[in-house]
Amino acid sequence: MVNHRDRFLLLRDQLAAKGIDVDAVKEKLKAPLVELPSWAVGNSGTRYGTFVDKGAAVTVWDRIDDCAEIQRCLGVTPVMATHVLWDKTEDGNYLPVKQYAEEKGMRLGTLHPNTFSGQEFRFGSICSPIEEVRAHTKAHFEDCVRIARELDCKTIGMWVADGTNYPGQDDLRARKHRLYEGLKHLYDAMDPDMTLLLEYKPFEPFFYTTDVNDWGMSNLMCTKLGDRAKVLVDLGHHVSGVNIEHIIATLLDEQKLGGFHFNNRRYADDDLILGTVNPMEIFLIYKEIVDAQMAGLPTNICYMLDQSHNIENSLEGIIYSVMNIQTAYAKALIIDRTALAQYQQEHDVVMCNKVIMEAFETDVQPLIEQARLELGLSSTNPLANYRAGGHQKHIEETRGAGALTLGGGC
């Protein structure tokens, strides 16, 4: 039987023959990779119901503990994305949350405001035709900037959950003007070292129009706002058949790609475990990002997970997603770009695709496992590491059945 070290050395020699610096690839795989979503470690569900898991996170302290356990198993996830609705103490304070996260070896990342949970948002938030609601939302944005300062968060992830359900319900151009006015209020309130990430979604919770419905509208708003506003791409927020990697390439070239919410979908916003439905999509997205980096384009991108674990164990779903991210990223890093450039110059479309597929079909696990060993992880298999670590047994014994749901996603 070939042991791990021999498998790694064999892969290293094969890649070196193509001029690929394996040590440089390995260092990239050891760097912090993706923010963990605090809201994804608790129970979540659909509009129709929630399956409750024993031991699911209920309090913010639970969520930090769970994210710290995920980091123990993976070694590349030391940041937890936060949401103003849920990631605070019972008396409404946020600073103790930051302190507890630091005690657990975590830091807090992107802060997400609320524009969807509350009776006042029946007709929208900053796009609402009701002036009092718009004023309330703007005040909330100001408070979010204050919270971001307290938590030392430099990124605000904005999902505007506004839209209409029926033709004639509202003046669509007026809603566009309100959208910009509200976002401008948030943007101007932010510190100079903060970045605004504007998410888009084709539908839900409204179904006739969505005020930030696609990457074009997000990019339009961000361009009007300024250099510190960038587009946030949620992989589930596209209609079927959209070529997301093409969108990524365009936003990279325009220097307007700011972040991701990673998940997988079959139809629309399914929020499934990343890499389980279309693993090649994430590989091709990373290809465009690596290409842009090699071309010298700025790629200061905030990577986050945003998934809804309805039937699977939430922590295992997150760990599995990050493992799939590592696999896709590693494959994107080992593309034989010298050969690809030559075939592109020769217009040899078959060989161009073959180079891409050879990288995608390469077993990169020996390389990833070596990176995990060098990170000092107790196991090269994060899922097995989690199952053997005792955390799941502990939380099931100490937390009970957990809350029904954390509410909507982002």
CATH of the domain at 131: 3.20.20.150
C-alpha 283/C-alpha 333 separation (Å) is 10
Residue 339 to residues 13, 312, 364, 407, Cα–Cα distance (Å) = 17, 41, 19, 49
Residues 204-235 have pLDDT tens digits of: 999 999 999 999 999 999 999 999 999 999 99
Query: Is residue 343 in some structural domain?
Result: yes
Query: Is residue 113 in some structural domain?
Result: yes
pLDDT surpasses 70 at 342 = yes
pLDDT surpasses 70 at 402 = no
C-alpha 14/C-alpha 190 separation (Å) is 49
Cα-flanking dihedrals φ and ψ of residue 363, to 5°? -80, 105
Q: Is 219 exposed, middle or buried (0-12, 13-18, 19+ CB in 10 A)?
A: buried
C-alpha 12/C-alpha 23 separation (Å) is 9
> Mean of the pLDDT values across residues 155-181?
98
Number of structural domains, the chain? 1
Query: Is residue 109 in some structural domain?
Result: yes
Query: Is residue 219 in some structural domain?
Result: yes
Residues 300-317 have pLDDT tens digits of: 999 999 998 989 999 999
Residue 405's CB is within 10 A of a number of other CB atoms, namely 17
Query: Is residue 407 in some structural domain?
Result: no
Mean pLDDT of all residues belonging to the chain = 94
Query: Is residue 408 in some structural domain?
Result: no
Residues 251-304 have pLDDT tens digits of: 999 999 999 999 999 998 889 999 999 999 999 999 999 999 999 999 999 999
**Residue range of the domain that includes 271:** 4-399
C-alpha 277/C-alpha 294 separation (Å) is 29
C-alpha 176/C-alpha 156 separation (Å) is 21
Query: Is residue 406 in some structural domain?
Result: no
Query: Is residue 116 in some structural domain?
Result: yes
> Could you tell me the sign of the dihedral formed by the alpha carbons of 34, 281, 112, 179, in that order?
positive
CB 211 within 8 A of CB 160: yes
Residues 119-144 have pLDDT tens digits of: 999 999 999 999 999 999 999 999 99
What is the structure's pLDDT at 408? 43
CB 78 within 8 A of CB 93: no
